[in-house]
Structure 1
Amino acid sequence: MFALTNGLARRGQLTEEQERFRRSSNDWFDANFANPADVDPTVYDHELNPGATAWFKMSARHLIERVEGYRQLLRAHGIVCVEARSLDPGRVIYEDEHQVVVVPTARPGRPG
């Protein structure tokens, strides 16, 4: 959701109100949890970790609750995001107390 919202901002597609929300929310997240790419710059490298995706841990409810505003913003731009849960989202390449970054595991009928 963060990447999608930031992409809309880079393309100048956010309203002033949406941009204020994005900036203040991004600032809050930056101050309250680690960006995996700051800890390991290779974590989202497309060649090393194709399809790498961050997942919040279920114990990080205080963070999960704050993403609703991003979902509403994206929905306003025709981008639907739903909450997904998995006991096995893929091969863990980064982990901290709030999140994991995984490379999806190849499964029948699913590339990866």
Structure 2
Amino acid sequence: MLELGASMQGLFGGRTPSGTGDVSRETSGLRSARPSLPFVRFQSPTRNERGTFTGVFGLVNGLARAGRLTAEQEAFRRANNDWYDANFTNPAHTDPSVYDVDVNPGAAAWFKVTARVFIERVDGYLSILETHGVPCEEVWSADPGVIVYEDEHQVVVVAGQ
């Protein structure tokens, strides 16, 4: 498995998330200064065809489905997706209705800032996105919406109207 850190910049050319607005958004470097807000999400700054903001994993998986990743990027994606699958709870496995568009329209997952081991691994995904010119922003919030699922590391929310 690839290690994150300085070697990641060599593989993927570094990353700088972009975006503006909302509560607090990081737009430079590798998250050196973090706002004192309890939740963070990495997402496209542009709404998708469903009217939601695709998250970082969906953005990278979309590049993979389109055949745009290098062999190294795909190896990183696969190994880290497998790691997340093994170590991070999938809310839909606990509650199948959590992402049901009729029950929870626009539901989106946010990391709790205390979930550092999970957040740190996002840097490699962000590097891949930057290499491919796909914008992704880091959004911090004290209140991202109505919580419809919560565990030790994350919440899934439906944003307020």
TM-score band by shorter chain is 0.7 to 0.9
Question: Which runs of structure 1 show a deviation greater than 6 angstroms over 4 or more consecutive aligned residues?
Answer: none
Structure 2: runs of 5 or more not aligned = 1-55
More strand by share: 2
Matched, 1:93 2:148: yes
Give me the whole-angstrom Cα distance separating, in 2, the residues matched to 1:48 and 1:13.
Answer: 34
1:68 to 123, 133, 145: 123
User: How far is 1:46 from its partner?
Assistant: 2.1
What residue number does 2:58 align with?
A: 3
CA RMSD, Structure 1 to Structure 2 (Å):
1.1
Q: For this pair of structures, how many residues does the alignment match? A: 106
Q: Which ranges of structure 1 fall in alignment gaps of 5 or more residues? A: 107-112
What is the DSSP-based 3-state SS (H/G/I as helix, E as strand, rest coil) of the residue aligned with 2:157?
A: strand
Is 58-67 or 41-50 further displaced after alignment?
A: 41-50
SS in 2 for 1:6: helix
CA–CA distance in structure 1, aligned partners of residues 66 and 144 of structure 2: 30
Name the aligned partner's letter for residue 7 of structure 1.
G
Once the two structures are aligned, what percentage of the paired residues are identical? Answer: 62
Higher RCO (C-alpha 8 Å, min separation 6): 2
